[in-house]
Amino acid sequence: MSQPTARQARPRAQQPPQRAGSRGVRVGGGFGPRGIGRPVEKPKDFRGTLRRLLEYLRPHLVALGAVSLMAILSNIFSIVSPKIIGKAITHLFERIMARQAGVVDAAIDFAYLRNILFTLAGLYVISAVFGYIQQIIMAGVAQKTVYNLRRDVSAKLARLPLKFFDSKTHGEILSRVTNDVDNISSTLQQSITQVISSIVTLAGVTIMMLSISWKLTLFVLLTLPMYVLVTRFITKRSQKHFAAQQRSLGELNGHVEEMYGGHKVVKAFGREQAAVAEFKAINSELYDAAWRAQFISGIMMPLMNMLNNIGYVMVSVMGGIYVTRQVIALGDVQAFISYARQFTHPIISTANIANILQSTVASAERVFELLDEPEELPDPVPAAVIEAPRGDVVLEDVHFSYSPDTPLIQDMNIAVRSGQTIAIVGPTGAGKTTLVNLLLRFYEINSGRITIDGIDIRDMSRGDLRNLFGMVLQDTWLFNGTIRDNIAYGRPAASEEEIVQAAQAAHADHFIRTLPDGYDTVLNEEASNISQGQKQLLTIARAVLSDPSILILDEATSNVDTLTEIYIQRAMSELMRGRTSFVIAHRLSTIKNADLILVMDQGRVVEQGTHDQLLAMNGFYAELYNSQFTSNGVA
C-alpha cells in the first residue's frame, strides 16, 4: 500500500546528480518500506551525532511521550482484536459442530456474538483515533524540529567567514540545507512512529501468539532467522547494483547536460554521431545496472511472502491437527494465522530501521558539521565608531595569505587620503578581489593593520565598517524582487524620491521607465529579463543610494552594448567624485588619472606607484601597458 506523504514533494532540481537517481525514481513510493537495499552512507560518529539530534527533540519531550503512548495503545488494541475475533469464530464453529453432533438447541448465540463485535468495534475506533492523534502530533514535532534546524543553519551561515563559502561549492552547502534536512524530516515524520509500532507489534504479536500456543509460536519463530538471512543476502547484492545505477545515471545526466548545453559547438564541429555513440554506451551501462537493481530488490518481497506463507502453512497444518486433537480452539488458529500474517511487516521495517537511522544520522552529521564550522571573530565591544567619515585608508605592514604555504601579500604599505583614486591593474586571475576581501574584512589579515580615518578596522563592528563602503562589482548580484527593492537594498528606509534620484544619477531611470511595470518590475530568478548592462546600472544606483565614503568599483563591462557602456562609464565617474575609490581598472584614462596604481600578478602586489613612476621602472607594468594600449597586431 503506498501512502502519499510529504516525502513525495521532494525538490528535484536541487539534487546533486548522484542523488537524483535514487530519489527521483520513487514515483510510486510504494514497493515496500523505504530504502530496501539502497546504499547507505555511514556516519563517522554515530552515537555523538544521534545524541545531538535527540537534543533537538528535547523541547518536544512531552509530545514525543504522548506519541509513544498513543502508538503503543493504538497497536495494543489492534493486536488484541484478532484474538477476540477468534472467540467469535470459535463460538460459531462449536455451535455448528454441536449441531452436526445432533444437539438440537445448538443455535448461535447472537447476543454473545453482538457483544464481541461491539467490543471489537470499540477497540478499532479507539485504535484508529489514537493512531490519528499520534500522526497529528508527530507532524507538528517533526516539522518544527526541522524548522529549527533550518533556522539554525541559516543563522549560522550569516556568521561564517567568507573563507567557508569560497572553499565550498554552492551545491555542497545547498544540499545540506535541503537534502539532508529533508532526509531528517521524513525520518522524524515516519520512521519514529514506525519504529515504535514495529517494536510494539512484534512484542505484542509474540506475546499473543505465546498466549495461544507456544508450540505454534515456535514454528513461526523458526522462520525468523531466515528473514534475517534473506534480508542480508539481498541487501548486500542490491546495494552494489544501486550504487552502479546511481553512478551511470549521474554520468548520463552529466553527458546530456554537456551535450545539450554545448549543442552549438557539437553541431559546429559535426560531432553529433560521437555524442550519440557515447550516450548509447552510458545508456547501456545504466540499463544493465538498472534492471539488476530493480530485479534484486524486487525479489525481497516475494521471498518474504514465501517465508510468511511457509509459516502460514505450518500454522494451518499444525493448528488443524491441534484442533482435531482439541488442544486449541479453531478460533485461536484463526487468530494465530492473523498474528503470523502481521509478523512479516514489522520485521522488514525493523531490518530497515538500522539503515534509515544510519543515513539520517549521516545527514544530521553533515548538518552539524556545518553548525560547528569556526565562526568569524566576534565584533569588539564597545566598537569604535567613525562619526564623520572622511575616507582615509592606510595599510601598514599588512601580511596576508589564503593558505600558509603561499604568502600573497607581504609587507604592504599604502596610504590613501580622502577622495583619492587607487587603480588596481593586472592580468586576469591576478587576484584583484583579494584587496576587496581585506578592506571589507571578509578575510582577516595575518599581521599588520588596516585603518580607516585612523581607526583599526578590527576595532569597528563589521556592520559599521561595511557601511562606509559601496561596491559595484562585475558580478552583479540582484535578487528576485522588484527593481525598487533592489536599488533600496543598501538603504531599506529610502524614500521613493531618493530611489528615483539614485536611479537618475546612475542613468538607470530611463530604462526602468520603459519596462512594463517601471520600478515595480520584478526581476526573475536569473534576472534575465533585463540586460547585463542594465543590471550593472542597477548596482550602481544601489551604491549611489547607500552614499558610501569609500568605493570599490570594477570597471570591467562584458556583453554590454556601446550606449549602455557609455552610461555605465559616466555613472561611475559621477559616483567616484569626492569619494575614496578603489577601482579594478580596465580603462587607460582611469589608470592614468589614478593617484596610486597597484599592479597585481598572481595574487601579489608586484609594483605600486603612479603611472609615470611605474613606466620609469620599466618592469611588469610597463610591459603590461605597452602590450595593452599600443595597438599593434590586430588579427
Tell me, letter by letter, the H, E, C secondary structure of 456-509.
EHHHECHHHHHHCEEEECCCCCCCCCEHHHHHHHHCCCCCHHHHHHHHHHCCCH
CB of 269 to another protein, least distance (A): 6
State the Cα–Cα distance between residues 441 and 23, nearest whole angstrom: 41
Q: Which residues pair with 452 in a beta bridge?
A: 393, 455
CB of 429 to another protein, least distance (A): 5
DSSP state of 522: B
Contact in structure between 248 and 286 (CB atoms under 8 Å): yes
CB of 64 to another protein, least distance (A): 16
Closer by beta carbon to another protein, 50 or else 427: 427
- Rounded to 10 degrees, the C-alpha dihedral 395/398/402/405 comes to 160
CB of 44 to another protein, least distance (A): 25
564-572 own/partner pairs: CB under 8 Å, 24+ apart: 564/531, 564/533, 564/534, 564/536, 564/537, 565/533, 567/507, 567/533, 567/537, 568/507, 568/533, 568/536, 568/537, 568/540, 570/507, 571/505, 571/506, 571/507, 571/508, 571/537, 571/540, 571/544, 572/472, 572/540
CB of 564 to another protein, least distance (A): 8
Closer by beta carbon to another protein, 124 or else 214: 124
Closer by beta carbon to another protein, 403 or else 631: 631
Closer by beta carbon to another protein, 358 or else 474: 474
Closer by beta carbon to another protein, 224 or else 622: 622
State CA 377 to chain mean position distance. Answer: 26
DSSP run (H or E) holding 601: strand 596-601
CB of 28 to another protein, least distance (A): 5
Identify which of 137, 202, 534 has the alpha carbon closest to the alpha carbon of residue 344.
Answer: 202
CB of 32 to another protein, least distance (A): 11
Residues in the chain: 635
Closer by beta carbon to another protein, 476 or else 608: 476
CB of 47 to another protein, least distance (A): 29
Cell numbers describing residue 197: 509500532
CB of 626 to another protein, least distance (A): 9
What is the pairing mode between strands 393-400 and 409-416?
Answer: antiparallel
Identify which of 570, 578, 503 has the alpha carbon closest to the alpha carbon of residue 542.
Answer: 503
Rg over alpha carbons for the chain, rounded to the nearest Å, is 36
Cell numbers describing residue 286: 545504466
State the Cα–Cα distance between residues 577 and 580, nearest whole angstrom: 8
Closer by beta carbon to another protein, 403 or else 558: 558
Closer by beta carbon to another protein, 134 or else 355: 134
114-120 own/partner pairs: CB under 8 Å, 24+ apart: 116/84, 116/85, 116/87, 116/88, 116/91, 117/88, 119/84, 120/81, 120/84, 120/85
Closer by beta carbon to another protein, 43 or else 348: 348
CB of 286 to another protein, least distance (A): 7
Closer by beta carbon to another protein, 74 or else 352: 74
DSSP state of 8: G
State the Cα–Cα distance between residues 295 and 556, nearest whole angstrom: 57
CB of 587 to another protein, least distance (A): 8
Closer by beta carbon to another protein, 374 or else 429: 429
Give the CA distances from residue 245 to residues 104, 255, 277, 469, in Å, rounded to whole numbers and listed in that order.
70, 15, 19, 51
CB of 190 to another protein, least distance (A): 9
DSSP state of 313: H
SS3 604: strand
- Rounded to 10 degrees, the C-alpha dihedral 63/67/72/76 comes to 120
CB of 42 to another protein, least distance (A): 27
Closer by beta carbon to another protein, 145 or else 355: 145
Say how many CA atoms lie within 13 Å of 290 toward its Cβ: 13
CB of 261 to another protein, least distance (A): 6
Closer by beta carbon to another protein, 350 or else 546: 546
End-to-end CA distance of the chain: 70
Closer by beta carbon to another protein, 47 or else 526: 526
CB of 48 to another protein, least distance (A): 26
The backbone torsions φ and ψ at residue 430, rounded to the nearest 5 degrees and listed phi first, read -80, 0
Closer by beta carbon to another protein, 447 or else 626: 626
